[in-house]
Structures are given as C-alpha cells and as structure tokens.
Amino acid sequence: MADPHAKMTQATPQEVIISIVAGLLAPLLAIFLVVQLVLGIQDEQKPDTTSEAAQKAIAERIKPVARLEAIDANAPKVEKSGQEVYDAICTSCHAAGALGAPKFDNKGDWGSRIGQGYDTLVKHAIEGIRQMPPRGGGSDLSDVEVARAVAYMANSGGAKFTAPEAAAPAAAAPAAAGAAATASVAKPDPAKGKVVYEATCAACHATGVAGAPKLGDKAAWSARIGQGFEGLYHSALNGKNAMPAKGGNADLPEADLANAVGYMLVEAGGKL
Ligand code: HEC
Ligand code: HEC
C-alpha cells in the first residue's frame, strides 16, 4: 500500500481537467495560427492599389500603351522629314559605310550614284539594291519618307535634289482614299508615277505584252488619250480587257495608280 508510484501515476481531478482543456485548446490554437498565417500571405499578395504611390506606379506602367493607342486612333500619320528618317534608320549603315553603303557627307561615295538621277536612287532605296535592304529595313516608311531621306543623304554628298512635299492623299491616309479619290485623280504627279510605273506597270507596258500600249508610243496611245486622264485612270483602276485592275496589284494605293497613269499619259504626249 505504501507504493510511492501509486501517488505519482494517480492523477488528481484538477490534473484531469487541465489536461482535457489543454488537449482541446492546443489544436484550436494551432488551427487559429494557421488561418492567420494564410490570411497574412494572401494580404501580402494583393497589390496595393490604394496608396498614391501605387497608383502613380500603375499609371507609369500602362502609359506607353495608352500613348500608342492615342496615336493610332486619332492622328493621321505625320510623315517624317528626310533627316528624321535618316537618323532613325539609314544612319546605321550609311554613317560608317557598313556593307559598302555610300557614306553620309562623302562626295566620293555619292558622286557616281547621284549620276543615276533622283528617281532611280529613290527606286533603289524603296526596292532595295544588292546589300541595301528595301526601305533600309524600315518597312513602314512611306515612299515619300524614303524619298526625303534619299534627298537628304544624296544632298550631303553633293546632289541638289528637292525632297517631295507632303504625300499624295491616299499615301498619307489610306482610309481616306475612297473619299479623296477625286482629289488624287485631279492632281497626279508624273514624277512619282514613274517609280510606280517601273515597279508595277512596266512588266506589260514597256514591251507591249498582250497588246498593252507601250510607254511613249504615241501611235498606240493616240486613240486612248482622247478619254482624258479621268477615263484612262478608271480603265487602270477597274481593268480593261487584258489590262488587269490596278495592273494586277490590288494593294496599290489609288494615288500611286493615278500618278502612274499621269506619268504614262505625259509620256504619250497627252496633257494632264
Ligand atoms: C543594312 C544597311 C543599310 C541601311 C539600314 C540602309 N542602307 Fe542604303 N545602302 C546600303 C548599301 C550596302 C548600299 C550600297 C548598295 C550597292 O550599291 O551595292 C546602299 C545604297 C543606298 C543608296 C544608293 C543606291 C544606288 O542606286 O546607288 C541609297 C539612295 C540608299 N542606300 C538609301 C537609303 C535610305 C534612304 C535608307 C534609310 C531609309 C538606307 N539606305 C538604309 C545599306 C543600307
Ligand atoms: C499584265 C499586263 C499589264 C500590266 C501589269 C499593266 N497593264 Fe495597263 N494595259 C494592259 C493591256 C493589255 C492594256 C490594253 C487594254 C485594252 O485596251 O484592251 C492596258 C491598257 C492600259 C491603259 C489604257 C486604258 C484605256 O482605257 O485605254 C492604261 C491607262 C493602263 N493600262 C495603265 C496601267 C497602269 C497604271 C499600270 C500599273 C499600275 C498597268 N497599266 C499595268 C496590260 C497591263
């Protein structure tokens, strides 16, 4: 009976109550802490959109996109000057003469090239020639922008070319081409048309393929000239017999087409 262990293993009623309460509370406490921890982590992940600094940061992050959309939506394309185009694109080869490019401001490099004439240089710059990529790789440059850059560069090498002014309506704003068709028909620019002619129309009109009236062949054109520029333009726009609409180049802007017709008409001895 005097076993000392008996006393030690025998729990008193208070001890029983304490251990029961502790046994219940411990898991509850653990659950509570886990829940607190999870909530805390979620809170940290939520971006802070309320403070002024945070809102500024967000505005800063989305700004370039917002600005781009504004340009796309509202502004008509503003054509760059020759110097702007050169500085943005052409300089990468033409400043140092990479790949054999004629160097800016170097009369020796440009002399013989200038002899080809402005139109040919512009054509080469638009279409590319040997190591010179079309439009210098700036595929979204308009013909006018390339032509201005060519004048800027060639003039640095001793030429005295006059860069084209603002583009023909359709070239600047294709969306307005339909509405501006009459305006662009009214004022074709034969000098610009020559470039288009050589790229698109010469395939048939240089040699008279399929009965195409040859460039500068007055006899072949005499009867046609009577229609006046408008009539010829509409034949070229819609096609006529073996002549495909727009010379088969559906993407050709109407102002370019009008310029080409104007060029062909003038070459045929007609008047605009
Ligand atoms: C990737 C390099 C490169 C870039 C960019 C470039 N060019 Fe050139 N360019 C050349 C080379 C190389 C030549 C010489 C080609 C040849 O005659 O073999 C050349 C020649 C030319 C010529 C003379 C063509 C001729 O018939 O003699 C013109 C004009 C010209 N480039 C205009 C431009 C314009 C305008 C730009 C910018 C819109 C431009 N280039 C951007 C490499 C470049
Ligand atoms: C696939 C060959 C071909 C191409 C490419 C071509 N033409 Fe023609 N074109 C013809 C033929 C063929 C005729 C003669 C049609 C007829 O009167 O029977 C013609 C006639 C014309 C006429 C006279 C129409 C008339 O009413 O008498 C004009 C103007 C004309 N072409 C402009 C152009 C222009 C501008 C381009 C380039 C944008 C072009 N053509 C490209 C084949 C072509």
Find the 200 Cα to ligand 1 centroid distance in Å.
22
Report field, pTM of the whole predicted structure over 0.85: no
Tens digits of residue pLDDT in 62-104: 555 544 444 454 556 788 999 999 999 999 999 999 889 999 9
Query: Taking a C-beta distance cutoff of 8 angstroms, is the pair 148, 192 a contact?
Result: no
The residue nearest atom 3 of ligand 2, judged by CA position, is: 204
Find the 66 Cα to ligand 2 centroid distance in Å.
46
Domains contained in the chain, number: 2
**Do 141 and 213 belong to one domain?**
no
Whole-number Å distance between alpha carbons of 222 and 231: 14
CATH number of the domain at 106, please.
Answer: 1.10.760.10
Three-class SS state of 132:
strand
Alpha carbon dihedral 207, 208, 213, 217, in 10-degree steps, equals 40
Tell me which residue range forms the domain holding 227: 180-267
Question: Does 123 map to a domain?
Answer: yes
Alpha carbon dihedral 116, 248, 203, 114, in 10-degree steps, equals 0
CA angle 164, 200, 131 (to 5 degrees): 70
Q: Which of 123, 156, 189 is the last residue of a domain?
A: 156
As for ligand 1, residues whose beta carbon falls within 6 Å of it are 85, 89-90, 92-94, 98-102, 113, 116, 121, 124-125, 129-133, 135-138, 141, 146, 149-150, 153
Whole-number Å distance between alpha carbons of 47 and 171: 46
**Do 195 and 233 belong to one domain?**
yes
- CB of 213 within 6 A of ligand 2: the answer is yes
Q: How far apart are the first and last CA of the chain?
A: 135
Question: Does 137 map to a domain?
Answer: yes
Tens digits of residue pLDDT in 98-153: 889 999 999 999 999 999 999 999 999 999 998 898 999 998 999 999 999 999 99
**Do 152 and 184 belong to one domain?**
no
Report the pLDDT value the prediction gives residue 172, as an integer from 0 to 100.
Answer: 40
Task: Give the number of the ligand closest to the Cα of residue 240.
Answer: 2
Question: Does 63 map to a domain?
Answer: no
